[in-house]
Amino acid sequence: MDAVVPWVQGILLMIGCAFFAIGTFGLFRFTDTLTRIHALTKVDNLGLGFIALALLFSAPSLAVAMKIALIWVVALAASATSAHLVARAVRAQEQDRAATREPHD
Amino acid sequence: MRTVTAIPARMILLLLVWWVLTEGNLSGLAFGLAVVVPVAMVSVYLFPPGARRIRIVPFLLFVLFFLGRSVVAGIDVARRLLSPSLPANPGYLTFDLELPEGGPRWLLANALSLTPGTLSVTLDGARLDLHCLDTRDPVEEEVRAVERRVAGVFGLPADNWREKGGEVG
């Protein structure tokens, strides 16, 4: 059983890193801000989740395990909030542009 | 009355967070207490306890549901990114929420930012603007599914707000 744990951890860490890589890849493949946010928030959240899950196996105490989980929860909340703020700013900018363009055209 | 019970409840929660942050080391407890007490009091002033209580069992079910959906969301975006044709049809969709304002709408908007294909853009009263990665996806069903569960978390009766949502099927 003990011999299996490092392997499981290694696989989970690699899956986590793969998701981070894909999320960053999305930054290049998608061309507008909002779809990029979709890639970054959702995929990176999963990447961090897998890494946190892998580290849970080697947590020396319950408090440390909860700390790892807390880091993920806080990062999740920060990612949802900042995604929303950036999206709202983009929307406001688009509406501003549309409003200033119309009278001139 | 709500405020009186909220302070000790928040203090216990904050102490638990402190215990987690210090990794169970008791030597920092005095400092932790000195911080926790004023923070709990200020938090009640800044964020007055809502009129609605969170139901524990529906909340835990919501957390599980949310975790499942966020995994699906991550895989969904990753799949699109890795596909050579980059399937996406982004656009805005607007929904009229049937949840009451405050905590329930806030929880819904934030949860939707991490569920498949949706990103909360603006929440103006009961109007929620979503940016969707693919407007051909069944976004409406997703929104209503999350909304139904958020209603459960706050113990809102299902028939109270589902009457208008009937056309969703």
pLDDT beyond 50 at B169: no
Q: Are residues B76 and B23 in the same domain?
A: no
Rounded to the nearest integer, the mean pLDDT of chain B is 83
Q: Are residues B23 and B69 in the same domain?
A: no
Whole-number pLDDT of residue B101: 79
Do the domain assignments include residue B51? no
- Going by C-beta distance under 8 Å and a sequence separation of 6 or more, which residues neighbour residue B70? A42, A45, A46, A49, A76, B114, B115
pLDDT-based confidence at residue B163 (cuts at 50, 70, 90): very low
**pLDDT top residue among B4 and B74:** B74
Residue of B144, B152, B148, B149 whose CA lies nearest to B128: B144
Q: Which domain holds residue B14?
A: 2-46
Partners of A2 in the β-ladder: none
| Of A91-105, B13-27, B134-148, minimum mean pLDDT range | A91-105
Question: What is the C-alpha to C-alpha distance for residues A50 and A20, in angstroms, rounded to an integer?
Answer: 10
* Closest CA–CA distance from residue A67 to any residue of chain B (Å): 5
pLDDT beyond 50 at B53: yes
* Closest CA–CA distance from residue A78 to any residue of chain B (Å): 10
Q: Which domain holds residue A41?
A: 4-104
DSSP H or E run through B2: helix B2-21
Give residues 72 to 111 of B whose Cβ lies within 8 Å of A: 73-78, 81-82, 86, 88, 90, 92, 109-111
**pLDDT top residue among B162 and B70:** B70
Angle value at C-alpha B34, between A60 and B20, nearest 5 degrees? 15
Phi, then psi, of B85 in degrees rounded to 5: -85, -5
Whole-number pLDDT of residue B164: 47
Asked if B135 is an interface residue toward chain A (Cβ–Cβ < 8 A), one would say no
Q: Are residues B157 and B78 in the same domain?
A: yes
Contact call for B77 and A64, based on CB within 8 A = no
Q: How many helices (H) and strands (E) does chain A have?
A: 3, 0
Whole-number pLDDT of residue B47: 80
Question: What is the C-alpha to C-alpha distance for residues A23 and B73, in angstroms, rounded to an integer?
Answer: 12
Q: What is the pLDDT of residues A10-40, one digit of tens each?
A: 999 999 999 999 999 888 888 888 888 888 8
Minimal Cβ distance to B20: which of A67, A79, A81: A67
Q: What is the DSSP letter of B89?
A: B
Whole-number pLDDT of residue B166: 42
Do the domain assignments include residue B24? yes
Total domain count for chain A?
A: 1
Q: Are residues B18 and B66 in the same domain?
A: no
Total domain count for chain B?
A: 2
Q: What is the mean pLDDT of residues A97-103?
A: 77
**Considering only CB atoms, which chain A residues are within 8 Å of B119?**
34, 37-38, 41, 83-84, 87
Question: What is the C-alpha to C-alpha distance for residues A41 and A36, in angstroms, rounded to an integer?
Answer: 9
Whole-number pLDDT of residue A53: 93
Count CA atoms within 13 Å of residue B11 on its CB side.
Answer: 14
**Considering only CB atoms, which chain A residues are within 8 Å of B122?**
88, 91
Q: What is the mean pLDDT of residues B116-127?
A: 86
Minimal Cβ distance to B74: which of A34, A43, A63: A43
**Considering only CB atoms, which chain B residues are within 8 Å of A90?**
121
Conformation bin of residue B102: beta by default, left when phi > 0, alpha when psi is -120 to 50: left
What is the maximum alpha-carbon separation in chain B?
59
What the block records as the tokens of A40 is 């970054």
pLDDT beyond 90 at A2: no
For residue B94, count other CB atoms closer than 10 A to its CB. 11
